[in-house]
Structure formats: structure tokens, C-alpha cells
Amino acid sequence: MYAVDEIGPERVFEVYDQKTGMHGVAVIDNTARGVGKGGIRMVPDLATAEVMGLARAMTWKNAMADIPFGGAKSGIRADPRKLSKEQKEAIVRAFARRLAEIIPKYYIAGPDMNMSEVEMGYVADELKNPMACTGKPAEMGGLPHELGSTAYGVALCTKTAIEFKGKSLSGMTVAIEGYGNVGTFSHKFFEEWGAKVVAVSDSRGAIYNEHGLKHAEIMKVKAEQGTVTAAHGAKVLDGKALFELPVDILVPGARPDVINAGNVNNIKAKYIAEAANLPAKYEIEQVLMKKGVVVLPDFVANAGGVISSYCETVNMNSEQMFRMVEQKLKANTKIMMERTGADNDTRKAAMGVARERVEEAMHYRGWK
């Protein structure tokens, strides 16, 4: 048996398909606020305990986003690099079939690691139900994350926190780790709102130009050369050096634990917007908070994607979705900042809000 507490999990499923060799896990953590919502990931070392932890994180994230979803997560144990397109499709479809009894009654899926709008299309098609998942291709009525909803939320959360402090985003310098979907759109929105992005990175390294990097130019270089490090007029750095640059805003947007005991004392940014999940452990965040750094926790800052998911389930278009992300991110960031005490612990403040919302819903349902 796995550990449970007063929040959950409510259901844990381990499923297997003999024909394809698919082995998957789905965890519905808490549905007090609504059907469980969380992505499907595909990784070779998937563990049930890990999925349980991720499902709990979604319970808090969805509650803090203030959308009518509970928390859930699922995964398939497979190495996508070793699968053909046809093999991956077969495995995803088998996973969907095995979970037909809970999707979408208790669980609505979405894209996660190594799973995109393409695979969400397979899930919806296999179950013959557009409500089975979100992040589907636009041609199937979806609002794919490729629209930039997560990055929009990251930039907006940052802007709102800065303005709460009585300052302006305009003119502030930004460093962004990761130049995929979230990183590229974050660059775009920060630039449009007057900030100066001076450093970005990808798997090949980082580039830095104190005078600024133009979004259109870096996108062109990335598309043509395959890496941001091919950009002209910028200093090429080791990827790890990006975190220690003299910038106002640092956006860790790719890997976990990139801010750690080895570099935390060299961080110069005044604001850290956690676009990636778990870019720093809580004890590392506390070191930064004690120095006066405003940390915008992952489950607050990167909630634009899950808000977009909710919008998809109620058939909003992209314009309506962006308005919803704006409304929720502004309101929830402001609540977090107002609740943050003298210890500057924004994560503790946000967790308090999320827990209150879940427990209130549980109370109304008579669960406690």
C-alpha cells in the first residue's frame, strides 16, 4: 500500500496491455473541486510513487489557479527515443483504452513530458470523446499549449508581482533558461511589455548581450541553426552561467534543481519566475527568500497551461482563453503577494491559499 493522508489519493491505477507491452499508472489525488486534471508523461523510469507526488502537486496547482479541477497525473513507462511513431501511437491508444472507465468521469488527461498535441489527438480519438483530454490539436477543437498560454502566465505573474512591489517591468533585464515553447513565448511577452531579455539558453549553451536580444532574431537563428548559441553579437556562455548573471529577473524554464546549493549564493536576480516545475528545492528557495528575492513558485507562475486546459473543456476560443489566464494569474498572484509575511515566503503563502480552497470544497461535500 502507498501512503495516504486526509487529502488523498482517492484512486491509484496500474494498467498493462499484453499486445503492446504498455505499462502505465494513473493517480486521481483529490476531486473535491472537480474532476482530476493532470498530464500524461512518457518516461522510461516511471514510478507509481512519483506519479502520486505529481498528482498531489496538481491538486495544489489547480486549486491555486482557482479552476474547477481536482488533482491527478498519469504516465507510461517507456523510452520514446526507442519507439517508432507507430509504436508510440499504439502504446498511447492502449493506455487510453485501459483507462476508459475513469476518463473523463474522474480524470481528464493532457500533454506532459514527451507527450504533445499529437498524442492527445490519439487519446480523444481512441475514446471517441473530445472531453477525454485537453491540449488536442486545434483541428480537433483543442487549445494546444503551442499557443503560449504557459509563458503568458509566467510573464504576467512576474509583471503583477513587480507592480505589487510598486515597480515597473519596463526596462528590467531578464535571463531565460530553456528556449522551447515556454522560453520562446516568455521572451516574446517580456519584450512586448518593455523588459529587456539579455540572456537565453538551450541544450547547447547560453548567450548573453547586456544590450538585449531581440525575440524575432533569436527565433530565426534557432530555426535555421538549431541553437541560440549561433546568434551574432552575443557572448556564448556555459548554460549554468546564465543563473549567475546580473539580471533583475531569472526565469528557470527547463530542468529541475538548476538553482541549488552550488549556485544559490551567486544568484543576483531580484525576481525568480519558476516557469519549469521544481527548478529549486524548497530549502533553496528559502535561502533566496531570506535574501529578499521574490520567488514566484512554479505552481503559481506556470499555471497558464492548466487554465488553458480548463478553457478548452468549456469550448472557449484562444482569445477568451488568454483573457481567462490574465484574470486568474493577476488575481492569484496578488492574493499570494498579499498573504506573504515578513519571512518573504511566497510558496508558503500560496500553499496556504491552495489548501484552504481544497479543504473548503471537501467541507462542502461532507468529506471532513
| Residues in Cβ contact with 192 at an 8 Å cutoff, skipping those fewer than 6 apart | none
Nine cell digits for residue 174: 531578464
Rounded to whole angstroms, the Cα distance separating 35 from 27 reads 12
Nine cell digits for residue 284: 533553496
Cell 479552476 maps to which residue? Answer: 67
Q: Is the dihedral of CA 136, 180, 90, 52 positive or negative?
A: negative
Distance linking the first and last C-alpha atoms of the chain: 23
Cell 511513431 maps to which residue? Answer: 85
Catalytic residue among 19, 37, 61, 73: 73
Under 8 Å between Cβ of 300 and 157: yes
**Cα 222 to the center of its chain, rounded Å:** 22
Q: Is 178 exposed, middle or buried (0-12, 13-18, 19+ CB in 10 A)?
A: buried
Q: At what angle do helices 149-164 and 304-313 cross, to 10 degrees?
A: 130
Told to judge if 73 belongs to the known catalytic residues of this protein, a careful annotator would answer yes
User: Which residues are identified as catalytic?
Assistant: 73
